[in-house]
Amino acid sequence: MTGNELRSKYLDFFRRHGHAVISGASLIPENDPTVLFTTAGMHPLVPYILGEPHPAGTRLTDVQKCIRTGDIDAVGDPSHLTFFEMLGNWSLGDYFKDEAIRMSYEFLTSPEWLGISPDKLSVTVFAGDDDAPRDDESASVWRSLGIPEERIYYLPKEDNWWGPAGQTGPCGPDSEMFMDTGREACGPDCRPGCHCGKYFEVWNDVFMQYNKQADGTYAKLQRKCVDTGMGIERTITILQGKASVYETELFTPIIEEITRISGIAYGGGDEADTSIRIIADHVKTATFIIGDPRGVTPSNLGQGYILRRLIRRASRHGRKLGIEGAFLSQPARIVIDMYREVYPELAEKMDFILKELTSEEEKFLKTLQKGEHEFEKLLPSLEKNPKKQIPGRLAFKLYDTYGFPVEITEELAAEHGFSVDREGFDAAFAKHQEASKKGAEKTFKGGLADQSELTTRLHTATHLLHKALRTVLGEHVSQKGSNITPERLRFDFSHPDKMSPEEIRAVEDMVNEQIRRDLPVTMEVMTLEQAQKAGALAFFGDKYEEKVKVYTMGDYSKEVCGGPHVSHLGELGHFRIQKEQSSSAGVRRIRAVLESVE
């Protein structure tokens, strides 16, 4: 079964079971400062899991583009990916454990769907602890479906519990499904979740029935929800009997292009294979980030920094394969061609994607030349050291100041008979990471799960700001992203020039005028087509026939949005722009606050 077939079958199955097929969200989360990218299918649905009504109803299914960056350095082995597609289905206070598990079992085992032999399935359920009891309910459903007791495993919270996303919020036990690959067990304690490769996870049903409180206790939720996830790449790997995701059709065309450019064959099990996998994964991820409807470009901050890191790491591994000059646009064309029907935005933005990849690669190649020059300047003093070792702090300086990868420092060092103090470099790097992490923890608070009065007010203000910017600057202005904490809003929008002080003041005055008018905020559910005919702004790629929420603010603003919002604009207080600056090429960024009116 191919990835395209799995995607189609999954949505068709849940459509038949009364689920509305909804659009996947952007890779760049809206109004969520807690993460840089959308990390799972449930991520954009957190407000609805918390109780916000979804316009499509209580049974939903979709395919979500996801990026996880925690394992970037592990990419290159046969299994890790940064970009993947997650299939999901949700119950928002509708069905719960019994129906969710029965649907999962039917899709996995029925010959009409995946046709996996029930004899190959093992499942896990929550073992229980002081916070919540053992999940006997899920185990009972699995037994009733014919899964024998010896293939039902009770595992602790670290294995079979999801959430909350932050310190508090919805969470609950999960039940995971594993397929036995037929490999020998690694020992008597081998079980699903073991890393030896005998058991391959194919699906996860999460049962959100608790709300973790600030004091660490778990209260039962009044409205129970189900959230499931199945990764396309991992699932087709096991269905096709492949040893690695890189052996499936979702990667082989990209790998073939890299081997064509480099002249190095894939499959030898050596370092070249690792480099080829890194390039294949990173170029796919970079293509999707740049090509997203809210796509970003390489920069030194946030999503742009991750994108820059991916491109530069791929470029460096191209160099290791002997590829000279910028080359990533060539495998990127293959990625676009592979996914153009499922994600047409990639084809629409192809020229822009290829231009940004090439531009960033060329910048990196210049960086390498500069770093090599700095290394040559250091050589005379280094050669006076009888130890013939480059200090770790010096290697880190080359990395931190010039973006010079430590591996290339090691290559140059070896050419001159030196080694690099990797322990010293790693210690300096760890110190740098810890400082970055503290900065991130300070920055990333709030998020989709934060539906406090403060964030609701700021979210409402972004609509007024958007309309005012279009009125003052022109209708070319469109939202490129927003990020809201309880303290402030951040709003990115398309505009080529720095705003003048007069323009900033005009926007502020326009927003505050609407607040003084105390306009009512109303919401209607309609199709996207109806919303556009009604004059609502909509920029982020919902399907034409899909139902959406349209928020109207008096006679001033009408926009498609998920919510939540205040009921009257007079609740907002005084709007003030703190800063207007460049975010990336052709995109400006505004930071603003709402102040109480005495």
pLDDT in tens, 576-594: 999 999 887 788 999 999 9
Mean pLDDT of the chain: 89
pLDDT at 208 (0 to 100): 93
C-alpha count within 13 angstroms, C-beta hemisphere, residue 434: 6
pLDDT at 281 (0 to 100): 97
Q: Give CA–CA dist 283/346, Å, rounded.
A: 13
pLDDT at 10 over 80: yes
- Of the candidates 247, 257, 205, 239, the one whose C-alpha atom is nearest the C-alpha of residue 98 is 205
pLDDT at 166 (0 to 100): 62
For 247-286, how does the pLDDT look when each residue is reduced to its tens digit (9 = 90+)?
A: 999 999 999 999 999 999 999 889 999 999 999 999 999 9
The DSSP element (H or E) to which 344 belongs, if any, is helix 344-348
pLDDT at 17 over 80: yes
The C-alpha angle with vertex 468 and arms to 466 and 470, in degrees rounded to 5, equals 70
In this prediction, residues 38-52 reach a mean pLDDT of: 84
pLDDT at 478 (0 to 100): 86
Q: Assign a CATH topology to domain 453-595.
A: Threonyl-tRNA Synthetase; Chain A, domain 2 (3.30.980)
pLDDT at 165 over 90: no
Domain boundaries, the chain: 3-246, 263-382, 388-442, 453-595
**pLDDT band, very low/low/confident/very high, at 444 (cuts 50, 70, 90):** very low
**pLDDT band, very low/low/confident/very high, at 540 (cuts 50, 70, 90):** low
Q: Is 187 left (phi over 0), alpha (psi -120 to 50) or beta?
A: left
Q: What is the CATH number of domain 3-246?
A: 3.30.930.10
In this prediction, residues 528-552 reach a mean pLDDT of: 79
Alpha helices in 124-269 (DSSP H): 136-144, 157-160, 232-239, 252-262
The DSSP element (H or E) to which 296 belongs, if any, is none
- Phi and psi at 486, nearest 5°, equal -60, -15
The torsion angle over the Cα atoms of residues 557, 558, 560 and 566, rounded to 10 degrees, is 60
495 is in an annotated binding site: no
66 is in an annotated binding site: no
For 186-236, how does the pLDDT look when each residue is reduced to its tens digit (9 = 90+)?
A: 988 899 988 888 898 999 999 999 988 889 999 998 889 999 999 999 999
pLDDT at 435 (0 to 100): 64
Highest mean pLDDT among 114-118, 379-383, 482-486: 114-118
In this prediction, residues 21-49 reach a mean pLDDT of: 83
463 is in an annotated binding site: yes
In this prediction, residues 382-404 reach a mean pLDDT of: 84
pLDDT at 558 (0 to 100): 93
**pLDDT band, very low/low/confident/very high, at 409 (cuts 50, 70, 90):** confident
pLDDT at 441 over 60: no
Instruction: Kindly tell me the sign of the dihedral angle through the C-alpha atoms of 49, 50, 51, 56.
Output: negative
196 is in an annotated binding site: no
pLDDT at 383 (0 to 100): 86
Radius of gyration of the chain (CA): 26
Q: Give CA–CA dist 329/359, Å, rounded.
A: 10
